[in-house]
Structure 1
Amino acid sequence: MVIDGQAAAVIDPRRDIDVYLENARRHGANITHVFETHRNEDYVVGSRSLAEVTGATVLHGQAGRVDHAQPVTDGEHFDIGKARLGVLETPGHTLDSISLTLADRDFGDAPVAVFTGDTLFIGDVGRTDFYPERREEMAGKLYDSLFDNLLPLGDGVQLYPAHGAGSVCGSGMAEREFSTLGYERRCNPMLQLDRNAFIRTKSQEHHYQPPYFRRMEALNDRGVEHDALPRPRALPPGPFAERCSDDMTVLDLRTPEAFCGAHIPGSLSMPTAVAPGYIGWLVSYDTPLGLVLDDDADLDRALRELYRLGYDRVEAYLTPGMTAWEASGADYAVVPTIAASTLKQRYEQGEDFVLLDVRGIEEYEAGHLPDAMHVYLGHLPDRLDELPRGIPIVTFCGSGKRAAVAASLLKRHGFDQVENCLGSMAACQAVGCRITD
């Protein structure tokens, strides 16, 4: 968000737009412009909603017309008080990708910052796999956008990308939320490659495209009308159990340790740290949802994250939590956990079990335990028939979070010999498990 005086602009707004409205109100500003750096695939954009409420004009790159926006072209600029936002066409991640330079007109037209969308991240660059038949072409476009349009802006220009670490739009992003073009030019691994190596590397990258991407694209093409966050009912154990017996899917957003210790039978573990990347693979948009949380105070954040991903049918949450469920006498289930040291002993003793590694293929190929069965977590629902039911299955990932999701999915489908390796690869490395590639 850019604010100067009584004018404000928002770039790539999220669906829950109240944060922008409150910020504008606090500064006594009117939101006059809303920019989309590209058509987002991984969340529902709030541009149309924001325009409905404020009267702002929505602007989008000319190469990707969307119903609710006006097209902009390279070189156009827009004044937000004394700030000036300039349009740079930076295709590569998508054909319609733009970046926005920010200049302070009190000191000249040279940019002090740039909003790069999904073109340049802190520590990585955008993915180029959304046009499968044009991967090399798109990689070349991205390289040219980076080296011909963005980096020449100057080493001191501050960088504001659309995503940070953990996003499905790039795997190498830094945990930092700040950088400059000069730092990225010197230290970003992808910017150390020449054009041919860059194209080759980007063309060979493997990215997963969750099925919810198609839904996000359709929603963002037409824009989502302004509406409110879901308002689920707070239900004690008895009424919550009645809804569970109907058609409600229970999402358990607690930590893997809490879920494995006790959970509602049939519920799906979905720790908040991994939910944005995996819920779209595993949970239908058509089913009503009930939530189990560590604390009722976490409800607003959970609702917002689900809302940004297009999940509007959150109908209930359990209050005051699993302790009350247990005290009510209702049945609960557990997932046995296994320490990395015990897993190491099982390998050494030749015990019969299946280690189910649900990490991404690049993580798996970088190092895995011997004879591990690899099934990416997003693909697991379609590959359950490949798993044996007569021997223990130990779910495994990088830390135990995705493994908890996998374990809950197996339990929901009748697998009764399921264990979660808490700590997973991180713990195995710590205790010296044999790792192969």
Structure 2
Amino acid sequence: MDTMLLKQFFIEKIAHSSYLIGGNTSCAIIDPGRDVDRYIEAAAAEGLKITHILETHLHADFVSGHMDLAEQTGARIYAPAAGHCTFEHVPLSGGDTFRIEDMEFHVLETPGHTPDCLVYVVADTSRGGTPVAAFTGDTLFVGDVGRPDLFPGKARVLAEQLYDNLHTKVMTLPPECLVFPAHGAGSLCGKAMGAMRFSTIGYENTYNPALRIGDTEEFIRSLTVNMPPAPDHFARCSDINRKGPALVRTLPSLRAMKPAEFHERMKDADTIVVSIRDYATFGGQHIPDSYHIDMGGNFPTFAGWVLPPDRDILLVTDSPTQAKEAVIQLRRVGLDRTIGYLEGGTHAWVMAGYTTDHIHQLSPSEVHEKLKDPATVLVDVRAREEYEAGHIPGAVNIMAMDLRTRAGDLDPDTPTIAMCRSGHRSSLACSILKQKGFSDVYNAAGGITGYIAAGFMKT
């Protein structure tokens, strides 16, 4: 009798997939996220005990939940031997096998995306010995493969290893074997992932563009030239996961702060203020020198990219519920020091007599009008490949996150408009420019999308 159960969990924005695979009484969780209640509740609903926690590699783009899950369930953590993890675990290498009831797990060692990648190949022996599923981590995605350029100086070697491991190990699995990757469309762990959240070996062999490159040199070039930029937290999370992240129960609890306490606390040099409200509201009124990361955009990725991890974070939000959700998303990218939020928001702030700052939001027609003045500088804050695909003539391309170090390329006394695709990243850019002493800053509301829709630019 077939008893294998499989559940997929998908976290939006970081586009992370994790899995529960179980039998009659026990189950494994593969590549868990940090908010582990979802797995505990899902296992309980199926009457299963979590006995195994399987990591395919040391994730670069999010903080894993293996430590919290192990503490709360007593399950053993299985992780790549090549990861040199410092917490208690079962180290795995290529050729290792283990069983969970009728399921036999075979370990493939597949360095390439990172030096420690594994693929877990599962056979349901209640039905036969043929592999039925491969949990490919960040080695193989739907329509893409893992990027090998996250380790300085190792991109070429890792890309070559990835090519060999894909063609000699992963893609030799049966064509009907299901592929369950750790990420989907929207993740920056690959170059161009598909929106489907699972696939088969056969389908990927036939249609995956990266796998259809038959020349090693061309494959290496495709994964090492013009790759999307990697957020700052990609350089931190692997090591956090190697050491074992701090248990969530040990992190600061979020406190509602009245304006006076908030004002006092933000004076500390080790504290930053982050507004997560929508960009129009932020533009209307915000606390001076605060960062703006709109919850409507890719909040966790942008936060992990620009916020310093060694500072306490104070939030300005629309509601206590939004503040709590932000804390969860910040912890996913290793930002563990959120200590409070402004009770009553900016309304309470100004009622208490404190100062606010403003960023004027320009509609597409206002942007078009303002650009007639040759003194106005338009900064296109999208990634280079977005800019090259189409931009307003004369626009300067500096990615929003790079303004932290490249604001000096611009004149702080010149009228400056920031533009992205929609208005989210450009509002972040405006907040950074204001911190850098720019006084005459404007956000292009609706971004280049609105500008094109208004008929000011042909696509």
Aligned AA for 2:257?
L
- After TM superposition, the score normalised by the length of structure 2 is 0.87
1:419 to partner: Cα distance: 0.5
Aligned partner (choices 313, 324, 343) of residue 289 of structure 1: 313
- Aligned residue in 1 for 2:233: 212
Describe how 1:35-434 pairs up with structure 2 within 5 A. 35-68=54-87, 69-196=89-216, 197-228=218-249, 230-247=252-269, 248-272=271-295, 273-347=297-371, 349-434=372-457
1:96 to partner: Cα distance: 1.3
**Gap runs ≥5 in structure 2:** 1-19
Aligned AA for 2:255?
R
1:404 to partner: Cα distance: 0.7
- Aligned residue in 1 for 2:25: 6
Q: What whole-Å deviation, never above 9, does each CA across 1:332-356 have from its counterpart, x for those lacking one?
A: 3221112223333444x35321111
What SS does the corresponding residue of 1:359 show, helix, strand or coil?
coil
Cα distance in 2 between the residues matched to 1:239 and 1:135: 48
Q: What whole-Å deviation, never above 9, does each CA across 1:208-252 have from its counterpart, x for those lacking one?
A: 344433332322222124341541111233433333344431111
What SS does the corresponding residue of 1:383 show, helix, strand or coil?
helix
Determine if contact 2:191/2:228 at 8 Å carries over to the other structure.
no
Shift of the 320–103 alpha-carbon distance from structure 1 to 2, 3 Å rule, reads: farther
Determine if contact 2:254/2:324 at 8 Å carries over to the other structure.
no
Cα distance in 2 between the residues matched to 1:429 and 1:159: 39
1:316 to partner: Cα distance: 0.8
What SS does the corresponding residue of 1:356 show, helix, strand or coil?
strand
1:329 to partner: Cα distance: 4.8
Cα distance in 1 between the residues matched to 2:117 and 2:242: 14
Shift of the 152–405 alpha-carbon distance from structure 1 to 2, 3 Å rule, reads: same
- Aligned residue in 1 for 2:12: none
Q: Does 1:16 align with 2:35?
A: yes
Cα distance in 1 between the residues matched to 2:127 and 2:276: 49
Q: What whole-Å deviation, never above 9, does each CA across 1:306-352 have from its counterpart, x for those lacking one?
A: 112222221111233334445555433221112223333444x3532
Cα distance in 1 between the residues matched to 2:181 and 2:365: 41
Q: Percent identity?
A: 38
Cα distance in 2 between the residues matched to 1:411 and 1:112: 55
Shift of the 87–275 alpha-carbon distance from structure 1 to 2, 3 Å rule, reads: same
Aligned AA for 1:188?
N
**Gap runs ≥5 in structure 1:** none
Aligned AA for 1:93?
H
Shift of the 30–255 alpha-carbon distance from structure 1 to 2, 3 Å rule, reads: same
Which range moves more in the overlay, 324-333 or 210-219? 324-333
Determine if contact 1:140/1:195 at 8 Å carries over to the other structure.
no
Determine if contact 1:206/1:362 at 8 Å carries over to the other structure.
no
1:402 to partner: Cα distance: 0.7
1:403 to partner: Cα distance: 0.5
Cα distance in 2 between the residues matched to 1:183 and 1:266: 50
Aligned AA for 1:91?
P
Q: What whole-Å deviation, never above 9, does each CA across 1:393-413 have from its counterpart, x for those lacking one?
A: 111122211101010111223
Shift of the 149–353 alpha-carbon distance from structure 1 to 2, 3 Å rule, reads: same
Q: Select the structure that is richer in helix.
A: 1
Q: What is the CA RMSD across the aligned residues, in angstroms?
A: 2.4
Q: What whole-Å deviation, never above 9, does each CA across 1:4-34 have from its counterpart, x for those lacking one?
A: 2221212122223333233333333222221
Determine if contact 1:167/1:277 at 8 Å carries over to the other structure.
no
Cα distance in 2 between the residues matched to 1:124 and 1:341: 39
